[in-house]
Structure 1
Amino acid sequence: MKIEIFVSDENHMANLGEQLHYIFNYHEIEVLEDNMANREKVLLLSQYLVGNVEDPLYFIKSKTYKEQFEIFETWCSLIKCPEELSRLCLTIFKFYY
């Protein structure tokens, strides 16, 4: 996926502001296939990152186990910041268990 698409208004990543863009692994963004499923994953991630935590997690919980795993796997591959990745993992564990 092109960086321009990833940070576009369509994916709501533009709402994160410049200060949060340091958390992403740009190589993983570039190798992410640009399709509707991945755009949905990016949109859900942007919602989570701006503080709308419950809505994307409830939406993901309604998916099959395989789809849930694929979403979280994509999220973890896109985030390079250890602190943010740790925060994400703890949030997922608390939400699901």
Structure 2
Amino acid sequence: MSETMTAGKLIDLHDIGTDAEPKPKLLIKTEPMNVMRLVLPAGKAIPEHKAAKDITVQCVAGKVDFTAMGETMTMTPGKMLFLPPGELHSLTAIEDSIMLVTKAN
């Protein structure tokens, strides 16, 4: 098992640093999964794409319009969704947002 963060240590999902537009950050990498924090400034869009394996997406902060399976849903803190492999999806940040993405390996 290789880890980006040390096992058993707290990860502050709100500590995004000082970059004007922070890049996605891989927080945990293990054999069965990767966990990534995605910071989206208001107005930032990620065009339609798909993942090769199962993913979950959770809104930690902000508000994001998430389009998948023919429906656009507004994600707010505490909301989470699951997508099966190959499902096309896109997202647009309505407010400055932090998303947590877990991908199966």
Instruction: Please tell me the TM-score bracket, short chain as reference.
Output: 0.3 to 0.5
More helix by share: 1
Question: Looking at CA atoms only, which structure, 1 or 2, has the larger radius of gyration?
Answer: 2
More strand by share: 2
TM-score normalised over the length of structure 1: 0.34
